[in-house]
A and B are shown apart, each in its own frame.
Chain A
Amino acid sequence: MSELPELSDEERSRYAWQMWTPDIGEEGQRRLKAASVLVSRLGGVGGTVAYYLAAAGVGKLVLAHAGNVKPSDLNRQLLMTTNWLGNPRIESATRRLKELNPHTEIVPVAENISSENADRLVSQVDLVVDAAPLFSERYAMNEACVRSRKPLVESAMYDFSAQLTTIIPGRTPCLSCIYPDDPANWKREFPVFGAVSGTVASLAAVEVIKLVTGVGTPLTGQMLWMNLREMDNRKLPIERRSDCPVCGSVDAEPSTDSNLG
């Protein structure tokens, strides 16, 4: 990010309250404007991540989500609207985000992540947020991020529990280090309140803001494990596996002046 884009007066006004945050200021906001983020799926987690990143002024969002809006989406997927039932989710999400912030470039992709498209989509951005409901999608994204050395914010939930970690390939454990294989009995449909998916989504968006601006300490090498039933939240240190088939042979690259790697 050697040449950061300038802010217009309208943008300075829009982002004034967050630019008051110590260590953010105009340079931090310009870093956000220069940033590009891929969000995998726009459900209860990913949709809320995208909403907060657009609100924060991230310059470009590449959004991947297939399918049409269903009634059962509407308890948590805040980018989907009742009047768009039966129509493509990606269109509803794009419209809602452009209504919120016309400055953010939206690149809509009406596909879910797979091993066929992951590398192509990851190549278009600086970093990735994974919020997909299937482990096959998450593993494909994890592998693509490790191959391209792009940071990956892993955000997931079930019931009243949530997990969050930030993966820096070559420096931190990857998803396959933590879970070498998907859990037995995982089902595509899962119990979820929007307030729970939105909680972990908000934290994932914070991780992105920290990575892009260089402010704060990203949640690397640790998993935030949240039990919202009892409000018992812990940070569990996690370690790389030397025998990890995905990242075991990947070395760290030199650090830069931001948290992006």
Chain B
Amino acid sequence: MATVFIPTSLRSLSGGVRSIQANASNVREVIDHLEEHFPGMRDRLCENGELRKGIAVAVDSRVCSHGLLEKISPDSEVHFVPGVSGG
């Protein structure tokens, strides 16, 4: 199963859980899995049925451009990388 890492800014929804295993074939299914375990996560990651434009997703350490359709392998690592602007 893929390992999904939860960004710091969303860990209030996961009760502090940093990562979770997910049986998923693409990013959309990863988010479905997150929502199932941590309600509210989908709204933070998606808008109008798409990945929010202020959030990047990295699969196996590569920032992807296919959004929710990006493919996931059973041994993939998935990171959601929200844009930050703190200066």
Contact = CB atoms under 8 A, between A and B. Distances in A.
Given A44-B86, A184-B44, 14 more contacts: A45-B86, A133-B87, A158-B82, A161-B7, A178-B63, A182-B83, A182-B85, A183-B54, A183-B84, A197-B86, A227-B8, A236-B81, A237-B63, A239-B65
B20 interface: no
Interface string B56-72: 10100111010000000
Contacts of B56: 178-179, 238
A-side interface size class: 35 or more
B85 A138 contact: yes
A181 B56 CA distance: 11
Interface in A138-197: 138, 155-163, 178-186, 190, 192, 197
A173 B52 CA distance: 18
Residue from B52, B55, B84 having most chain A Cβ neighbours under 10 A: B84
Contacts of A178: 56, 63, 83
A192 to B, nearest CB: 6
Interface of A: 40-41, 43-46, 130-135, 138, 155-163, 178-186, 190, 192, 197, 223, 225, 227, 229-230, 234-239, 241
Contact of B83 (A131, A183, A234, A238): A183
B3 to A, nearest CB: 13
15 contacts: A41-B87, A44-B87, A45-B87, A135-B83, A156-B84, A158-B84, A178-B83, A179-B83, A181-B52, A181-B54, A182-B85, A186-B84, A236-B62, A236-B79, A239-B65
